Structure 1
Amino acid sequence: MNGKRRRTLLKAGGTLLISLLTPITARAAQILAVRVWPADDYTRVTLENDSVLKTRHFIIKNPERLVVDIEGVDLNPTLKSLVAKVQSNDPYIKQIRVGQNKPNVVRLVFDLKEEVDPQVFTLKPIGEYQHRLVFDLYPVNPPDPIAALIEKGQWSIGDEPPTEMPPAVAQADPPYAQPKSERPPQVTRMLTIALDPGHGGEDPGAIGRRGSYEKNVVLQIAKRLKGKLEQQPNMRVMLTRDGDYFVPLGRRVQKARKVQADLFVSIHADAFVKPTANGSSVFVLSEKGASSTTARWLANKENAADLIGGANIKHHDKQLASVLLDLSTTAQINDSMKLGKAVLTEIGGINRLHKGSVEQAGFAVLKAPDIPSILIETAFISNPSEEARLNDDAYQDRMADAITNGIKKYFAANPPLAKSRML
């Protein structure tokens, strides 16, 4: 063996020996994206990363601060960008400060506007997301939804005196109306309608071929519908979300019950694996299985919203979960079916119906035991032509008109009963 070759082998062997003796240090986790979702209910901050992060957090008083130490992370430009993502009108965060506290530990300091109850948890990869570290900052003194309606002039303290019911839209009784002899005495009072724009925040819902997000389209339709319903002399409306933020499915139902809603209307724009699928649909709850394979598939997809949007499963209200799972009644489903038929008939006047009857499936968001509840799929956002219609102001307006007329016909045929205050 010549000297040159010998020197080369010795050098390679020395390099290998050094590499074996050198301790292996763990690669720092990479922060891929940071997002801030402010809302009246709470503010969410999300760090998306390529591995599970280990954290510890604590509160410092006077002034209120939340301190979070994240291990195994180096400060990178993405993490630094979190500072600029806090909006001045955020209800709960003044600012966020970010720094390298010590090697492989980044410290976040949330300067707060009021006392919060922080929930810090991680989410496993799902859909388009990798690992997520989530900070939900809930106020210690949460806003009261009825107080919010009072502030807007939509709810009087002690509730309002009786007001006039809307006149029946049709002269003849529709097929879903009760016979006149069986109808209960008409009660005149304010009617509270909970409108539930699906998805939001971390959960975009279905995404159209042209890039439209379901969460944006349905919020626009819900706001149009809210305006039209509030033009009625005896109706007021509560939105389960009025901006781009995530609301867990159970929380949506809880919000409706807190304002003693008479109806719950969830608004969506569905998608299917085939872009040719089209038409509008109305769904109500089923306790005995879905009315079709498509209905079952869609309910499973919508019920996954908590996984995608990021519900903190460990902090779910156990009492609420019990109510949703155990107390859904036949009476609620029967009333929901009447509402669904009235709305479906009206929607059929502006768009093809995917199916000519109200469908049923186990949608989690329809499980309020004491509120007639429907879920409307306004059109298929996965169908290019229907995606264009969903983004059209005129179509959104006609859809809101149709739902309004359906709700008015439902109440004309099924006058509301007197209501004792719900717990």
Structure 2
Amino acid sequence: MPNRPVPTLPRLLAVLCFAFAAPAFAQQGGEAPPPAVTVVTLEASDVTLTSTLPGRVAASAVAEVRPQVNGIVVERLFEEGKPVQQGDPLYRIDPATYEAAKAAADAALAQAQAQLASAEREATRQEELRQRSVTSQQTLDDALATRDVAAAAVKVAEANVLAAEIDLDRTTIRAPLSGVAGLSQATQGALVTSGQATPLTTIRAIETVNVDVTQSAAELLRWRRSGQAVAAEEGSIVTLRLADGVAYEHTGRLAAAEPHVNEQTGVVVLRLEFPNPDEFLLPGMYVQVELPQGTVQDAVLVPQEGVMRDRRGRPLSMVVTAENTVESRELTVQRDQGSDWVVTEGLAAGDRVIVAGFQKVSAGMTVTPEERAAEAETATAATE
């Protein structure tokens, strides 16, 4: 074996000094500083909860135009997709048959009136003869009866004339309400019949539109029993979001609620009314309604990133106390509101909730809190 060099005394002293000095150097560095966490200071306020409910736009009034007489369409008098006013002519049916019926009814009326005049003269003559005892009472009674029958025949003839006039007038089909006319389902020369299944066109009033949504009856009862103010009452202001995610510029109101719960679905139908002056909303359009459900008194809005759940699924938040120590709080969460949770118990105004950095802390630790708003301002200043 080769001989190993024996350490000299100065080298041995240097090694021992280094070994004893290492712990001293570690102690001079001190303990690690408290970890930094990002917090949000909470504020209490009255929070109005809203629900986003799907629905479809419906016209405030709809009229399916159908003929009330039979005949051939000889003319269409409106432009498809254009507004029409109540009473405007839409179609004209060949009136020849109904003009003839009207003429026949007029002739029957004239004949009945002539018979009535003759019967009245005969009755008057028989009354005079009876006063002079020239004729019998039976003859007078027969003359009076004939006069009354003739008078009734005149009324029947007048009714026939009125019916003929109505049918003749119905050969011009008019708009039953003001609105926008749809596409025509009948062309010139088409044979139409009274009360047919297929409408000639459909008129929709869309200056004001309705949106029907469904509200859970169980949720409505829960709010009423909790003593909270229910916002979903008649006249409540509601907002609308279109299918592309853009909010509608006009607000609406809750017009009515169906006083009936659907047995199969357990929901109540709510009818919302929205102005539509520019006719931007069209019937059948899919929309989402943000409907106010109720008001929570003295609630706090906690950012969702500041709420976690334990193994049992209970919501928790890590709060920084006045002494900058971490404290765990169990929460009572009402529901979500946008990017926040509505908390009614467990937190109060002024509490500082950790929203970032809680992975490296635990209850009882001392931390260095930094407000999230201050961080945002610092980042903005750095970018500028």
Give the TM-score taking structure 2 as reference length.
0.17
With a CA cutoff of 8 Å and minimum separation of 6, indicate the structure with the bigger relative contact order: 2
Q: Please identify the structure whose Cα radius of gyration is greater.
A: 2
Give the TM-score taking structure 1 as reference length.
0.16
